Structure formats: C-alpha cells, structure tokens
Amino acid sequence: MNPIAPDKQIALVDRLTEACGGGYSPDVRRRYFITGPQWAPAYQGQAVFHAPVRPPVTFETVIEEYAKMGVNYWCTHDTDVIPTQDLFTPRQDEIVARIKASLSKNGLKCSMVTTETFHHAVWAAGPAAESPDVRAYTQRRLENTVGIGHELGAQYCVYWPGSLGYYTQGAIDETQTLRWYADGINAACEADIHIAKQYKRPPLKHCLEAKPFEPQAEILLPTSDAMLAFIFSGLVRYPEMVGLNPEYLHELMWGGAPRASLARALLCGKLFHFDINDGYRLKHDVDIAVGLVNPLDWLNVLVLLRAHNYEGPFNLDYKPPRTTSAHAVFSMSLPTSIDRFITLWEMAGEVSSDPIIREATDALKAGGAVSDPKDVGSIVEANKELLSLHELIGHRIFQILIGAHRGRTYSL
Ligand code: GLO
Ligand code: MG
Ligand code: MG
C-alpha cells in the first residue's frame, strides 16, 4: 500500500468506521441511560510518562458532540469546567450559566457532578489531610459542587477519593483520616438537604467510587466492599443518601470479579451509578473503552444488571487512547463505545431469555431427586450429571456472544 497522505487520513478512518457497520442511530442511543463525562473526550492523552497528544476541547464542543451522537446526559468534575481559582467567585456563576445555556440549546441534561479532590496541589496529602484548613476547604468544595449540581439539575454526585491514602506508611493515622473523610461526606449531605429544599428538588444521590491503586501508593478505601463497610460504619451520618459508583475496571484491577462486586452492592441496595470501561487485571487504570478487553465478562455483568432491574446511569468513564486523534474521539471512539455497550446490553437480554439457558438453570435449581438426603454419597450421585450444565451454560453464553445461536457458523 502507498503511504496515506495526512490530508487523506480522516477520510480513510471515517470510511472504515462506516464500513464496520452495526452503528445505532442517535435516536436509538437516546433510549439508554448513557452519560457522557466532560473528561472523557477532553482527555488529552497525558499521564505520568505521557505528554498530551490532543488539543483541549471546551464544554460547548463536548455537549454539542454528545447531542449529535445521541448521548442525553453530560457530567463533569467542578474543575473540568471551572478553573480552581474561579471557584466561589462570580466567574463560577457565569460559567455555570453558560453550561446551562449550552445544555438546553443542545437538549442535554446534566446527570452528575463530582468534585476534583486529587489533582490540585492542595490535595497533596489528600482531601482529609491533618491540616484543618485543608479539610475545611475540602468541605467547602464538596458543598459547592452540590450547589452546582442542583443548579444544573443533576441527580447524582460522585466522590472518587483517589488521594485518600499515603506514600509513607505510619505517617498518617488511618482511622482518624477516615473519620475526617466522613466529615466531608456528611457536610456535603447536610448542604444537600438544605440546598435541595431551596430548589424544591429531591436531594442528590451521593456515590462513592473506589479504586485499588493510584494515585496514592496505598489507598484507604480501595474497593467497593470497603466503601460499603464505610457507609455502614456509623461514621456516615446519612447512610440512606450515600451509595456506590463502582467502576468496572477498578473492581477488576485488584483481581476481583466485577460481577460479584456489583452483586454485593445490589444486595445492599447501594448500586446507584456505574462507570463503564474495560482493562486488565492487576495493572494500572488504563480506562479502555467498554468491551474491548473482556466482552464475555461484560456480557455477564449486564445479564446480572438486567436481572436486578438496575436503572441507574452507565457512565462512559474511559480514556480514548493516545493513538486516537482529536477528530476520531468524536467520530469513532465515543460512538463505537456506546454501540458496543448497547449491543452487549441487548445481547444480555438474549442470554436472559435463551430457552437453553433457561431450561438448564431451572433444572439446576430443581436439583436431582436424592434417594437418601442424609447420605452424602446419594446427594453427589443425584446431582452429578446435572452439574455438567454449568459448563454448558458458559458455552451457550459464548455462542450468544459470537452470534452462533443465530446460525453464524465457520465451515472449514
Ligand atoms: C479515576 C476515576 C475518575 C472518577 C471521576 C468521578 O480513576 O475513575 O475518573 O470516575 O473522578 O468522580
Ligand atoms: Mg471512574
Ligand atoms: Mg478507571
């Protein structure tokens, strides 16, 4: 093949994206509670070892592009859109008014707001540092975000306490730090109760998000389970207002099974919000788009969520890779991510209604007829053949993933 001239590359990528087919129309995409973060397309490709590769984009562009794509909801960190030095000033109000205008012009809603408590130098020792000044500032920031959330009509507020931890062991008292962190969440909930009344709106759903590694060396609330224990520890004053925003990759990163983490959150009634992406076990937070690494696992996750009538947001918390251009972020990366999610969701519906899986599952639940229930040997004998259905169900789910249940074959 001849080299592809730079001015022909966009056309090539667009043509091949189109040739992939299988894309959904914006109207179809709008049927799902998919939320688009400001930070996903605005991510410039930078990291500890990486320089940025893409230019900055404004919230106006992001909101407009989401609207064109068929994403109904937008969400943001406070400082994604308001520079830190402009928070609490009239500049903040001006920016929030511009966001409102841009959302309404494009027919989008704001689903969620979140406070950045990990990037700025003020959080060097975390949002619950020893210094009372840092903690008082944290509380003001959290309360301020709640106010922005109500002003923008959000339903959810997310907290990722990524810098709640340490580099050098023994330097902080973990129990004290967690108490101080709870003070921050309590202040946000209290402010919410007050502000919600002023706006005549229900209070927000406050969602904690765990990540096992990064950016601290050791993290105090590394998993969704740790956060459940924290919510029910007695430190959180309004536990009914606080739930979880698990992230698929964050649960996978520590070696857990995301589906089991979600199941535990569901049992506690705490699965409020869900960050969707993909990646690898026991690696750093690569935030690859949904379904590109673990489509089978993702399919199973969605089967679980459908079975439990999860109705919260699916938040596209991923990072378009550095190899994807600024143009392709909107023309290829985001739409294909959304479409893989929709396909997996619909496929999960097929798994749930598949007659083979249904019959196998019912048979397993019926169990074998045991001749002597007190005799361990008869229990084993009675179920021995039935248990082969476990592997058969796995095979059937794979067939559904590749379309074999609809007759797709490979003839050699
Ligand atoms: C980082 C987190 C981050 C959060 C966001 C929402 O690893 O996934 O993107 O989801 O800060 O609070
Ligand atoms: Mg996340
Ligand atoms: Mg992540």
- 51 CA from centroid of ligand 1 (Å): 20
pLDDT of residue 48: 86
Q: Which ligand is nearest to the CA of 253?
A: 3
Q: Is the confidence at residue 412, as pLDDT, over 90?
A: no
User: Each residue of 179-188: pLDDT tens digit?
Assistant: 999 999 999 9
Q: Tell me which residue of 196, 123, 194 sits closest to 160, measured CA to CA.
A: 123
Q: Report yes or no: 243 and 279 within 8 Å, Cβ to Cβ.
A: no
CA 351 – ligand 3 centroid, Å: 27
**What CA–CA distance (Å, rounded) separates 331 from 293?**
21
Nearest to 10 by CA among 288, 329, 334, 290: 329
Mean per-residue pLDDT, 209-233: 97
Among the bound ligands, name the one nearest to the CA of residue 40. Answer: 1
User: Model confidence over 12-64: pLDDT tens digits?
Assistant: 999 999 999 989 999 999 999 999 999 999 999 999 899 999 999 999 999 99
* pLDDT tens, residue by residue, 118-166: 999 999 999 999 999 999 999 999 999 999 999 999 999 999 998 999 9
CA 143 to chain centroid, in Å, comes to 23
- Is the Cβ atom of 275 under 6 angstroms away from ligand 1? yes
65 lines ligand 1 (CB under 6 A): no
For residue 247, the ligand 1 atom closest to its alpha carbon is 8
Q: Residue 106 corresponds to which tokens in the numbers above?
A: 């494009």
Radius of gyration (C-alpha) of the chain in whole angstroms = 23
Distance from the alpha carbon of residue 54 to the mean position of ligand 3, in angstroms = 20
Where does CATH 3.20.20.150 sit in the chain?
A: 24-353
Answer for the pair 386, 285: CB distance below 8 angstroms, yes or no: no
Q: What pLDDT score does 25 carry?
A: 97
The reply to whether ligand 1 has any atom less than 6 angstroms from the CB of 158 is: yes
Average pLDDT over all residues of the chain: 97
How far does the centroid of ligand 1 lie from the alpha carbon of residue 210, in Å? 9
pLDDT band at 335 (very low <50, low <70, confident <90, very high): very high
Two structure tokens written together for 95: 């920016």
Which three-class secondary structure string do you get for 98-156?
Answer: HHHHHHHHHCCEEEEEECCCCCCHHHCCCCCCCCHHHHHHHHHHHHHHHHHHHHHCCCE
Joined tokens for residue 102? 């841009």
Dist. CA 160 → ligand 1 center (Å)? 6
Which among 292, 374, 393 is positioned nearest to 337, based on CA atoms?
Answer: 292
Q: Which residues of 200-221 are buried (b: 16+ CB within 10 A; e: fewer)?
A: eeebbbbbbbbbbbbbbeebbb
**Which of the ligands is closest to the CA of residue 283?**
3
CB of residue 114 inside a 6 A radius of ligand 1:
yes
At residue 320, does pLDDT exceed 80?
yes
Q: Judge if pTM exceeds 0.85.
A: yes
Predicted pLDDT at 162: 84
274 Cβ below 6 A of ligand 1: no
Distance 345 CA to ligand 1 centre (A): 23
* Architecture of the CATH domain 24-353: Alpha-Beta Barrel (3.20)
76 three-state secondary structure: strand
